[in-house]
Amino acid sequence: MSFPNYPEKHKLEPLFTAEDLVAYRERLGRMPKVKPAGVLFCLERGLPHRMRWRIPVERAGSMNADVYAVKKTKGKVAVLTSFGGGSPMVVELAEELAVMGARRMILMTWGGILQADLKPGDIVVCDQAIRDDGASHHYLPHEKVIRADAALVNELAASIRGRGAHCTVGGTWTTDAPYRETREEVLQYQAEGVKTIEMESAGLFTVGQVRGIQTASVVIGMDSLATLKWQTPERLDDISRSLEVVYAAAIDVLSAA
């Protein structure tokens, strides 16, 4: 049995689309009060509130996520938080936002470290993702890797570095099963140079490819599997600082488009 059960399903027509759902919400008057061109998916749910003195936001509604409009962009950029995580939810939201007019999407999250030269708080801008999720395989033929938009990756890395922070560009491993990360997989992906592990990037990059929009992601190192043992940081200061840098840098990039 292959996955998905209909290996050619990416060629078939769906019975229900994001266009259908957005139209239904509009009829009910339940759409967020923003139609952004750029979107930041922020897994750190308290970050927009914490950063509100530097980057003011206002609540714009909800759509299986809390939606905030970045005030200085006059609704051009939105930040989504409190959506849980994982490729299925990010794919669902990204599809709906694309229907609403979004053309650039950035995801920021914390994730596991796979390489010994990385430490907690280090910033990785992801240019590709291992498709070890489920959602992406319903959209595209099976391939090991899905790529981010190269131009958006470069803009994001430059914006982060322009704020005085160091970042690297590289691949990530997207999985649906955080408690099923095995020694064999880690050794394989370490040998391939994959830098991080998380749960969303492959799904977002897939929507980007299918919908013809620009997507990229940033992973801030949190815990580590680099030594083949789970290791956690003693303090979160470096991680918090990196989250703030990436948040501001991503909003700058999305605002400039």
> How many folded domains does the chain comprise?
1
Q: Is residue 4 part of a domain?
A: no
Instruction: Decide if 215 is inside a domain.
Output: yes
pLDDT tens by residue, 108-159: 999 999 999 999 999 999 999 999 999 999 999 989 999 999 999 999 999 9
Residue 163 structural domain: 14-256
* 1 located within any domain: no
Coil vs helix vs strand at 184: helix
Residue 66 lies in a domain: yes
| Side chain identity, residue 225 | L
CA dist 10 and 12 (Å) reads: 6
Query: CA 135 to CA 207: how far, in whole Å?
Result: 10
Question: H or E stretch including 126?
Answer: strand 123-132
Residue 48 in any domain: the answer is: yes
pLDDT-flagged residues of the chain (< 70) = 1-2
Predicted local distance difference test score (pLDDT) of residue 233: 95
pLDDT value, residue 7? 79
> Which residue is it, tokens 């918090």?
240
Dmax (CA) of the chain: 53
In a domain, 7, yes or no: no
CATH number of the domain encompassing residue 42: 3.40.50.1580
Q: Nearest Cα to 32, choosing from 86, 99, 105, 91?
A: 99
Q: What is the model's pTM? A: 0.96
By the 8 A CB rule, do 103 and 208 touch?
A: no
Residue 6 lies in a domain: no
State the pLDDT at residue 2: 62
Answer positive or negative: Cα dihedral of 250, 109, 78, 89: positive
- The number of residues making up the chain comes to 257
pLDDT value, residue 5: 81
